[in-house]
Amino acid sequence: MADIAKKITKLDDKISKLRERIKNDTAECEKLSEQKALLIYQSLCKQYSCEGQALADMIAREHEQAAMSGANDEPVSDNSYADDADEEKMLGQTSFFDEKSNPYAV
């Protein structure tokens, strides 16, 4: 029984060390994420030559303009009915054989 108690104590120690490491790694990850966000913000400020609320407003306007220009466009489909008439007219024009002499025709 004492052997099991020692194993449990060792496992508890390992668990507490892992939890502490996870806590430290999470804090480091958050710190790095903040640094990354700051760099992205600085890049956007440089790209648009403005910062703060002016940058946020500019990005919002661009987003709205992109949404509005996309809403006015009609969706294009590869399966258009207008193409079906052309396809029927062209049917058989690329054939190398007449239908009568085609040995592969069923």
pLDDT tens sequence across 47-85: 888 888 998 898 899 889 988 887 666 555 555 555 555
Instruction: Judge whether 34 lies within some domain.
Output: yes
Q: What is the mean pLDDT of residues 26-37?
A: 97
The count of domains in the chain is 1
The residue that leads in pLDDT, 89 or 30, is: 30
Amino acid 101: pLDDT: 61
Instruction: Judge whether 22 lies within some domain.
Output: yes
Domain that holds residue 15: 8-65
Tell me the one-letter amino acid at 99: E
Report whether pLDDT(102) > 70: no
pTM beyond 0.75: the answer is no
Q: What is the 3-state secondary structure (H, E, C) of 17-58?
A: HHHHHHHHHHHHHHHHHHHHHHHHHHHHHHHHCCCCHHHHHH
Report whether pLDDT(88) > 70: no
Residue 1 confidence class, pLDDT cut points 50, 70, 90: confident
Q: Is-contact 38 51, C-beta < 8 A?
A: no
Instruction: Judge whether 52 lies within some domain.
Output: yes
